[in-house]
């Protein structure tokens, strides 16, 4: 594909990478500062993500420029529903994760990645692929992009110079340093809110609900476009009380304009025997979102219609079926009927 950069370009890129130090150095090791796990790494050791390691007293991403997933896909699959509807994007991921979700559908990349095949793509090569395929955006996902953040950031900064949007799919367990940097190079974030119980985050996922909530607040304040997903799982987070609490948090602390995707769980990984999400659970979540005052509540992982309606006059603006756009009546990001500006990144 003739993707190898010129020697001078590669040297410049490598110098930029060396300048990015997301760690603190101590006499007997380093602490990784990419996420809220703050792994302490002795020489040669990797963090719980399996991605960042201590090599010669410096933090090194073992998957830097070595993605394990690369595809051209619908932007609605990422899933962004308020960003350039109907567009195709270049989606990229590596291996490893800083959480341990028992029902992860990408567990062969996030948890069981031994022996996973990799590509070799420097940041400028990824952007070149997007340009060659006339793709308006690059999406970082498949696994948690925080664990390969220096690689994603290097791609994103080049992409921004080339007028290509960058999309960041995350479970919101980033460190404050990383969260604060996102507006410099990211156009839109899609974040998971997996539960509203701190005990579940801590004992099952190995994370922190407090961290997730604070990161979501910071993202909402930053001006970066934000959408939120909750994977609704029967008997885990589908109670009326928990769904209502999540909906109120989004509406009151992030903003009623923030889209909430309530998605169906499909048995996977260590939850192979767990039942798929019941229809009634998704409908409860939808009603909880509307009762909390959210303007935009969407279904995920089910073949149902998703409609964006104007919060001002209730006109149908965008109608989707899975990844297909059936109708799009937006006019320069506004309702054609009452002319209300509709929140999102439409062009």
Convert the pLDDT of each residue in 90-121 to its tens digit. 999 999 999 999 999 999 999 999 989 999 99
What pLDDT is attached to residue 326?
Answer: 97
CB-hemisphere CA count at 13 Å for 296? 26
Structure tokens at 123: 């940041």
Helix spans in 3-148 (H)? 7-19, 107-110, 123-132
Q: Do 83 and 168 touch, CB atoms closer than 8 A?
A: no
Task: Identify the helix (H) or strand (E) that includes residue 131.
Answer: helix 123-132
pLDDT band at 21 (very low <50, low <70, confident <90, very high): confident
What pLDDT is attached to residue 55?
Answer: 95
Look at the chain and count its residues.
347
pLDDT of 323 over the 50 cut? yes
What pLDDT is attached to residue 12?
Answer: 37
For the chain, what are the domain ranges? Answer: 69-302, 307-347
Q: What is the dihedral of CA 34, 75, 69, 63, to 10 degrees?
A: -20
Handedness of CA 61, 62, 65, 70 (dihedral sign): negative
What pLDDT is attached to residue 20?
Answer: 60
Calculate the average pLDDT of the chain.
Answer: 94
Say how far apart CA 262 and CA 264 lie, in whole Å.
7
pLDDT of 2 over the 60 cut? no
User: Mean of the pLDDT values across residues 247-252?
Assistant: 98
User: Mean of the pLDDT values across residues 184-193?
Assistant: 98
- CA-closest candidate to residue 263, choices 275, 249, 276, 252: 276
What CATH number is given for 69-302 in this structure?
Answer: 3.20.20.70
pLDDT band at 10 (very low <50, low <70, confident <90, very high): very low
In Å, how far are 45, 118, 143, 168, 243 from 210, measured between CA atoms?
28, 34, 21, 20, 17
What pLDDT is attached to residue 7?
Answer: 36
Structure tokens at 319: 């109608």
pLDDT of 6 over the 60 cut? no
Q: Which residue has the tokens 């990229």?
A: 92
């Amino acid at each position: 594909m003739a993707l190898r950069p010129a020697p001078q370009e590669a040297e410049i890129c490598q110098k930029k990478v060396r300048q990015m130090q997301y760690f603190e150095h101590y006499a007997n090791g380093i602490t990784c500062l990419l996420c809220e796990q703050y792994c302490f790494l002795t020489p040669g050791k990797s963090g719980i993500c399996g991605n960042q390691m201590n090599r010669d007293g410096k933090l090194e991403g073992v998957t830097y420029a070595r993605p394990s997933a690369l595809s051209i896909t619908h932007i609605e699959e990422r899933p962004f529903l308020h960003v350039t509807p109907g567009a195709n994007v270049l989606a990229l991921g590596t291996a490893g994760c800083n959480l341990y979700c028992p029902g992860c559908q990408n567990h062969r990349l996030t948890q069981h990645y031994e022996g996973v095949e990799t590509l070799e793509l420097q940041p400028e090569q990824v952007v070149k692929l997007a340009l060659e395929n006339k793709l308006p955006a690059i999406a970082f996902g498949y696994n948690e992009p925080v664990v390969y953040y220096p690689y994603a950031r290097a791609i994103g900064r080049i992409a921004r110079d080339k007028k290509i949007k960058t999309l960041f799919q995350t479970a919101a367990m980033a460190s404050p340093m990383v969260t604060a940097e996102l507006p410099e190079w990211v156009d839109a974030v899609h974040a998971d809110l997996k539960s509203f119980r701190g005990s579940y985050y801590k004992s099952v996922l190995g994370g922190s609900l407090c961290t997730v909530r604070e990161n979501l607040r910071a993202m909402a304040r930053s001006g970066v476009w934000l959408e939120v997903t909750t994977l609704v799982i029967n008997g885990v987070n589908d109670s009326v009380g928990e769904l209502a609490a999540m909906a109120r948090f989004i509406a009151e602390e992030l903003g009623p304009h923030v889209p909430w995707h309530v998605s169906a769980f499909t048995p996977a990984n260590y939850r192979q025997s767990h039942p798929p999400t019941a229809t009634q659970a998704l409908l409860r979540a939808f009603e909880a979102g509307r009762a909390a005052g959210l303007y935009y509540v969407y279904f995920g992982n089910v073949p149902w219609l998703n409609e964006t309606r104007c919060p001002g006059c209730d006109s149908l603006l965008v109608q989707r079926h899975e990844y297909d756009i059936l109708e799009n009546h937006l006019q320069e990001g506004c309702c054609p009927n009452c002319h209300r500006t509709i929140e999102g990144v439409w062009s």
